[in-house]
A = this chain, B = another copy of it.
Amino acid sequence: MKNIMVAQSGGPTAAINASLAGVIRGALSSSEYDKIYGAIHGISGVLNENYLELSERARTEEDFLTRLALTPAMFLGSCRVKMRDPIEDPEIYDQIFRSLEKMEIGAFFYIGGNDSMDTVTKLSVAANKRNSAIRFAGVPKTIDNDLIHTDHTPGYGSAAKFIASSMLEIAHDTYIYDLPCVTIVEIMGRDAGWLTASAALARNEYNKTPQLIYLPEVPFHRTQFVEDVRRELKKSKNVVVAVSEGIRDEKGIYISAKEAVADKFGHMQLSGVGKVLENIVKRELHIKVRSIELSILQRCAGHVTAAQDLKESEELGEKAVQLTEEGKTGFMTAINRISDTPYRYEICEASLTEIANKERDVPRAWINEEGNDVTEDMLRYIRPLIGGETATEWKDGLPVYLPVPHLDHAGE
């Protein structure tokens, strides 16, 4: 019998440990796999031979998997290692395969975003070249929801639930004064507007905010924005604007370009578009205005996750294990939506082709013509994903999460 290894990579989500729990559950019920190793800090843990043995704990510790699934951010830690091509840098692949063979690994599972799926692709190509029997599988996650080949990504539903709930609470906060006021809420999403679109779910029979929604998929025009706000202020004293951090002008230049720096993958790290819009409103409309950045709470608020999201995340992990048992390698698991209402889906196998290079944007048809709102089709898509609440455990007034196991390594 072979063992398995699992690792996590990229930016945190509130659902990524549910996928880890799924992989563990899958391996525990497998007749093919024995021990379960968790590599600490993604592929770096494989390179440095830094592992945790998880099977013993999962078998004996009551509630371990339940608690794990409810704990936000990577239980095993993350990394941002950009793997070079096996031809350019064969040594690193030699090292990885040596490390995996030493631990008698039959299958390796990487839970992450498109950079991680790129790593899975490269590892499966390298395995093929060296006739290694080790299977490589990707389990998707990203709050950004911008992976191709899947209806949506784990982590997105919980982030969208946090955003929509916070937008509703911000609306209540906004409504208290009898004075005209503009509130700008900056939401994550570098290149895709999926997260920002979810702000629209806060609307209900009494709350019409956010009245304006700007996504990166449509060029942002400053003058149109000022006109939009001016028009909405005639209709309501409380105007709330949901804006993606990644909005750009017609030339493709980020509105928050002055603050932008590139990370090592060439992704632009942005912040501050809320402040930019705040200043525009202040200067042009001379009105009370404030900006709020939902910040990393969007991805780590473990106390308000979507039960549907965590369920799917776990199923994606479990399915990945089952598919490797069938001999599959070089794939990722994905969600195929069968219907919106009632919401029905299936967990399936998806290709990794082009996944690292392509991003899935919000379709133009799901954004209104003026480019300042989303359509009902968009909302029909998101609604089922934020559904259901999870039973966060609380003690002494605080949520109970699984202790981070790798702090002795991380510290010093």
Query: Which residues of A does B touch, CB under 8 Å?
Result: 12, 41, 44, 71-74, 77-80, 161, 164-166, 168-170, 172-173, 175-178, 201-202, 204-207, 235-238, 292-297, 299-304, 306, 383, 386-389, 394, 396-399, 401, 403-404, 406-407, 409-412
Contacts and interface: CB of A to CB of B under 8 A. Distances in A.
A300 B173 contact: yes
Contacts of A175: 73, 77, 404, 406-407, 410
Given A396-B387, A410-B175, A403 B293 contact: no
A25 B299 CA distance: 39
Given A205-B403, A292-B295, 4 more contacts: A175-B407, A178-B410, A206-B404, A237-B412
A303 B300 contact: no
A399 B304 CA distance: 10
Contacts of A410: 175, 178, 236-238
Given A175-B404, A292-B295, A303-B304, A165 B396 contact: no
Contacts of A407: 175, 206
A173 B178 CA distance: 38
Nearest to A292: B295
A324 B173 CA distance: 30
Nearest to A404: B175
A34 to B, nearest CB: 28
Contacts of A176: 12, 73-74, 77-78
A165 B303 contact: yes
B386 A397 contact: yes
Contacts of A170: 296-297, 300
Identify the interface centre among A176, A302, A398: most chain B CB within 10 Å of its CB.
A176
Contact of A169 (B41, B293, B302): B302
Nearest to A183: B296
A397 B159 CA distance: 12
Nearest to A160: B397
Nearest to A173: B300
Contacts of A12: 172-173, 176
A387 B383 contact: no
A292 to B, nearest CB: 5
B397 A71 contact: no
A398 B202 contact: yes
B168 A397 contact: no
A179 B132 CA distance: 32
A410 B207 CA distance: 12
B397 A172 contact: no
Nearest to A71: B172
Contact of A386 (B78, B165, B398): B398
Contact of A302 (B41, B172, B235, B383): B172
15 contacts: A71-B172, A72-B172, A74-B176, A78-B176, A78-B177, A161-B398, A164-B397, A165-B398, A166-B301, A204-B398, A235-B411, A237-B410, A237-B412, A293-B295, A304-B304
Contacts of A41: 177-178
Contacts of A168: 398-399, 401
A411 B236 contact: yes
Contacts of A169: 72-73, 297, 300-303, 399
A166 B294 CA distance: 12
Contacts of A164: 397-398
A300 B171 CA distance: 9
